Amino acid sequence: MSSSQNLVKELTCVRCPLGCKVKIEYTKELEVLNISGNKCPRGREYAIQEISDPHRILVTSIKVKKGKYLLASVKTTDAIPLRLFDEAMKIIEKLEVEAPVKRGDIIIKNFLETGTNLIVTRSVERL
Amino acid sequence: MKYKTDVVVIGGGAAGMAAAYRAKKEGVDVILLERDEDTGGVLNQCIHNGFGLQYFKKDLTGPEFKEYAKERLEDIEILFGTYVLEVRNDRTIIFVDRRGIHEIETKALVMATGARERHFNSLPVPGKRITGVFTAGLAQRFINLENLKPGSKAVILGSGDIGLIMARRLTLEGIKVEAVLEIMPYPGGLERNVQQCLKDFGIPLYLSHTVTAIEGDRRLEKVIAAQVDYKWDPIPGTEKEFEVDTLITSVGLIPQTKPVDFVETDPGFLVSNTNQTSEDWIFAAGNCTVIFDLVDYVAKEGEKAGKYAAMYAKGEYKKGKKVKVRKGENIGVIHPIYIDPTQESTLYIRVSKVFDRANIKVLPLDVEVIEDEARPPEMIVVKLKPFDENIDEIEVMADELISKLG
């Protein structure tokens, strides 16, 4: 295969605030040729995933009834495909839990079959 | 009521919580004053992740970081719903709460009062002062804590981290973000936030652009933006109109130093590497000194302030010798600006321009750090060991590293 068909993407790894500039060279068939610029293995993983199916941790909030706060923040325990965000938000928008909730409480197990859980990140006491 | 203690901490955000925790660990009595009904400060509304990787060695959201930090404060007296009226140089602190006005006699004080957002109204933009213009932090509070929707179509002015985070947050909540405008020729926030908050959602970022006017009757209807030249003057003919009902501004934070008015500030508290201000007994940490990129830095600074304030209260640390840290070539921000050379120090540096490869030097100390793609928005951290007390001044500078061929 001639090199002119190879693709290059310069990415900013989002796995941590260091934000390494990772350069990935790959073929149209998504065969990885070279990865550089990453300071740790997570950067390599990130680059490979990024060219095929970018994943992100989803952070948002859900309504809480009878709580000290109106909302509890939630997150997915690991990155989920970015393409599922719209669908995920449509589900989350309808959720409502009753206080108290605690940090780490699982709201949805195996969220959208991604193998990650949707968990509470803010404890909300009952009023 | 009259209180007596060793260390008072004003402000229960990331810096204040860390300061109170550490001071207590040093074995002194601590009172933490918090104006809200809970500690955490802005962490409570920063529901995104990316916090704590350095400080707690975990990727946490803001509320999680706050809960981790708060769990360490169990045996500390925290007075909620308090507002400090006066800090007197006879080491008394006057505060008010629902019960009335109270006085604390203390040996040392840690100021951890954070920062406030610069408001759109302080920018010279013509137009009526109509509704629909929010600071990013206020919009964040509405959405993440109060379950209120600020509008339905928005433009964001300023690409600092809060602006970028809000672009994603608004998008996820069904508010269309038409554009993010940045007056500088490079983004104001971390690269990772440009990726995960803008590029992920196809939100356009206009660099070297600013708002030139806003229009609307009662509610915002239109934002007019234009490209700017190197002097930040709008270039005629480059105007763009956005029909939106919401303008979110993320145009900078201002360190909050009130009500302490008798120590050196510019505009935040000027401190040494031991977080000591120009008054021996007053220490300061976090965004009330300088605006930090990461909460991890703020918490580390808070701990350090708590440690030295406790040592001061115990008589183990006095007024340290202060070596001036001078801002040399290509340095925009340097923190702290004084160093007690008998102690270790952590320098936080912002370069003043974009580098391919910056060589940062601390003179006359033999310290050099090479930083690839150094940009003003990303703080560079340099650690210094204690050094010769006969050095009067050190200088931090940056220059482009010319790579040697062959």
B11-22 confidence digits (pLDDT tens)? 999 999 999 999
Say if A47 falls within a structural domain: yes
CA dist B123 and B319 (Å) reads 40
Domains, chain B, in order of start with CATH, read 1-117+252-318 (3.50.50.60), 119-251 (3.50.50.60), 321-406 (no CATH)
- Enter the tokens of residue B47: 């529901």
**Cα–Cα distance measured from residue B275 to residue B68, given in angstroms and rounded to the nearest whole number:** 24
In a domain, A26, yes or no: yes
CB B245 within 8 A of CB B132: yes
In CATH, what number is assigned to the domain containing residue A101?
3.10.530.10
| 8 A C-beta contact, residue A107 and residue A118 | yes
Is A127 inside any structural domain?
no
Angle formed by the axes of helices B62-70 and B295-313, to 10°?
20
Q: What is the pLDDT of residue B31?
A: 98
Please give the pLDDT value at position A1: 46
DSSP 8-state class, residue B200: G
The answer, for B356 touching chain A at a CB cutoff of 8 Å, is no
Put simply, the answer to whether B172 touches A89 (Cβ < 8 Å) is yes
B190 contact A CB<8A: yes
Do A64 and A37 share a structural domain? no
pLDDT grade for B320, boundaries at 50, 70 and 90: confident
B349: pLDDT strictly greater than 50: yes
Cβ contact, residue pair B61, A73, below 8 Å? yes
Tokens of B139: 């919009």
In a domain? residue A126: no
Instruction: Determine, for residues A61 and B47 on separate chains, whether the beta-carbon distance falls below 8 Å.
Output: yes
Residues A70 and A113 in one domain: yes
The ipTM, to two decimals, is 0.87
Q: Which residue of A has its CA nearest to B51?
A: A17
Residues A74 and A94 in one domain: yes
- CB of B254 within 8 A of CB of B115? yes
- Residues A8, A41, single domain; the answer is yes
Q: How many domains does chain A have?
A: 2
In chain B, residues with a C-beta closer than 8 Å to the C-beta of A88 are: none
**With 80 as the cut, is the pLDDT of residue B168 above it?**
yes
Provide the mean pLDDT of chain B. Answer: 94
Nearest CA in chain B to A69: B145
Same domain membership, residue A63 and residue A46: no
Q: Do B147 and A59 touch (CB under 8 A)?
A: no
Cα separation of B168 and B181, whole Å? 15
pLDDT digits over A87-125, tens only?
999 999 999 999 999 999 999 999 999 999 999 999 999
Residues of B in contact with A70 (CB under 8 A): 145-147
Q: Which domain holds residue A90?
A: 59-120
User: Is residue A44 domain-shared with residue A76, that is, in the same domain?
Assistant: no
Chain A residue at shortest CA distance from B44: A122
In this complex, the residue of B61, B145, B294 whose CB is nearest that of residue A59 is: B61
Q: Is the pLDDT of residue B403 over 70?
A: no
The residues, ordered by sequence, that sit 6+ positions from B71 with a Cβ below 8 Å of its Cβ are none
Tell whether the torsion through CA atoms of A80, A82, A88 and A89 is positive or negative.
positive
